[in-house]
Structures are given as C-alpha cells and as structure tokens.
Amino acid sequence: MKEPMTLYMVVPCYNEEAVLPETAKQLGGKIASLIRDGKISRKSRITFVNDGSTDGTWELISQLCAGKGARLFCGIDLAHNAGHQAAVLAGLMTVRDRCDAAITMDADLQDDVEAIESMVDACLAGNEVVYGVRSSRKTDSWFKRQTAEGFYKFMKLMGTEVVFNHADFRLMSRRVLEELSHFPESNLFLRGMIPLIGFRSTKVYYERRERFAGESKYPLRKMLHFAAEGITSFSVKPLKIITNLGFLMVLVSVGMVLWAFFTKLTGHSEQGWSSTVCSIWFIGGIQTLCLGIIGEYIGKIYAEVKHRPRYIVAEFLHGEEEK
C-alpha cells in the first residue's frame, strides 16, 4: 500500500504564550486523528516558528518538543522578530524537504482547525495549492470588515492578483514549496506570490473565529503598511497612473489653449491670463509625464532586480526515444 503523505503545519508565533497551549492541544489532536485515519503519515508534525517573541513563547515551544507527544511537534527559533511573512517563509523553507505538503496557519485559532482535513482531502484529490477562504466575516466588527474587504478590492484595482478573502491559511505541496524557494525577493507578500506560482489549486471555505486569547499583532498601522507592501511588491500600476495623469494634464493644457483662444476671440479675456494658465497646465503636465516615464523605467528595473523565475514548467510530455 502507498505510504500516506507527510503533512507539516507551520505556525508563526509572536508573543503568543496566552494561546499556544490551546493551539498545541487542538492542532495536536487534529494531526493525531488524521494520522489514525491513515490520511497522513506518522512523520507529520506541527512546526511552531518563534518570531523573536519577548514573552515565554519559546519556552512553551521547547517544552512541547521535549514533553509527552513530542513526536508531533517541532520548533524553530528565529534570532529576531522578522515579521509574520518572513516567519512563515522561514518555517516553510526549513521543513520543505521533510514533507509532502505544508499548511500555514496563525497561532491564534482564528482559522478553523477542522478545515485542515478538507485541505488534506483536496490535496489528495490532486490539488497542489489549497486556499483557505473566509466564508463570512460575522465575527469581525463593521470597521474591520469594511477595511479588510476594501483591501482586497483595492489590491485588485492596483493590479495585484490575490484570492478574495484569503489570508495565509493555505496548503502547499512540496512542489509548490520548491518553486517558492526560487523567489529570492525580500519584500514578502505570500498571498500574492503563491498565485504567481500557479499549478492546480482549489479553495476551502471556513468561518473565521475571534482570536482565542491575547491581542492582535496587526494593528491598523501594520495593516496599511502590509497593503502598501502588497501593491508595491507586485504591481507597477501606481507608476502607470502617474504617466496617465501626465497625459491627462497635457490634454487639459490643450483644452486650456483652445479655451483661451475662444475667450480672446469673444473679447472676454483678461490681460495675461491665458498665457499664465496655459503654461501652468502645460509645464505641470510635461513634468508629471516625465516623472511617469522615469517611473516606468524604475518599474522595469524593479522587476529585474526581483529575479523571479520567468516561467514554471508544470509538466513535460516527451514520447519514447527512437531506438
């Protein structure tokens, strides 16, 4: 019989001592039951990545890795606080040679532990990426809901492709992790990078809960920064907007010239008005246009320095060699 796949959970933790024991209990229970059901192998584990916590998070992780049931857990201690995205990537890259698939999940139990099984099923059905998507935002406040949904819409408008209402709860196969390792960029925005990789994917819907304990490590300030990161790491559309604005201003200046002629001919013009207004719009337009053109080149340089793979081969069909 074929050996079941090895699944690794990757859970970033930053000052999560308040929730970690419960997270370990729930995730440990889930993984153990999936092992019992023969869906995943006995080598499967939960990896907690300590992202430079200043509380007792690492002590808790170390205890989990030493205590009873230690074969279910492993821990990675980052030397300093690298941020959520970097912590997730550190976890994924550390375990990628040990697993057939990895699921990333936050430590605060907002993501549904039960959805893990659906993700594993979707993976067994041949999907290389399974996105966890929130089915509703009932538990979010009106403000959080509006800002979060606005975030996805704005991203799309700005040219960054993301899966609507999907954060960082997802399953990735070993093959996807291998491809992810070829993205050497340091401005990380995983939910934009994974769709770039491609391969067969599907979505699993779940209800997002409230944080089990502790406080959010993502205040509005960090969220705005993250949104800006997502746009500027994936899209040069803002630069294109400048170029278009420049064009528009030059067009307006042409309109202004026509308008100035019209008022002159009908005898309504003030002395010196036309030349001043026309030059303001014209010079402004030319300057903005030039900025936009420089921006376009910067956009190209930016794309080059990212050194992203230009393509990813999913399959190579090649018949038998001639004898």
Question: Residues in the site for ligand UDP, rule: CB under 6 A?
Answer: 12-14, 16, 51, 81, 83-84, 87, 106-108, 110, 216-218
108/209 Cα distance (integer angstroms): 9
* Partner from Mg ion, ligand UDP, none contacting 111, C-beta within 5 to 8 A by type: none
CB nearer Mg ion, residue 58 or residue 169: 169
Secondary structure element (H or E) that encloses residue 249, with its range:
helix 237-265
* Partner from Mg ion, ligand UDP, none contacting 231, C-beta within 5 to 8 A by type: none
CB of 273 to ligand UDP, least distance (A): 54
Stretch that binds Mg ion, among 86-94, 104-112, 264-272, 311-319 (CB under 5 A): 104-112
301/91 Cα distance (integer angstroms): 30
> Could you say whether residue 100 binds Mg ion (CB under 5 A)?
no
- Return the residue of 57, 110, 173, 288 that touches Mg ion, per CB under 5 A: 110
Q: What is the DSSP secondary-structure string of 51-104? A: -S-SSSHHHHHHHHHHSTTGGGEEEEE-SS---HHHHHHHHHHHHTTT-SEEEE
Would you tell me how many other CB atoms lie within 10 Å of the CB of residue 1? Answer: 4
CB nearer Mg ion, residue 30 or residue 134: 134
Query: Please, which residues have CB within 8 angstroms of residue 2's CB and are 6 or more apart in sequence?
Result: none
* Partner from ligand UDP, Mg ion, none contacting 84, C-beta within 5 to 8 A by type: ligand UDP
- Strand 7-13 vs strand 101-104: parallel, antiparallel, or unpaired? parallel
For Mg ion, the nearest residue by Cβ is: 108
> Could you say whether residue 85 binds Mg ion (CB under 5 A)?
no
Q: CA dist 118 to 1, 19, 113, 151, 206, Å?
A: 23, 24, 10, 27, 10
CB nearer ligand UDP, residue 55 or residue 178: 55
CB of 14 to ligand UDP, least distance (A): 3
Would you call 15 helix, strand, or coil by DSSP? coil
Q: Residue 55 corresponds to which tokens in the numbers above?
A: 């509380």
- Return the residue of 16, 51, 108, 112 that touches Mg ion, per CB under 5 A: 108
**Residues engaged in binding Mg ion (CB under 5 A):** 106, 108, 110
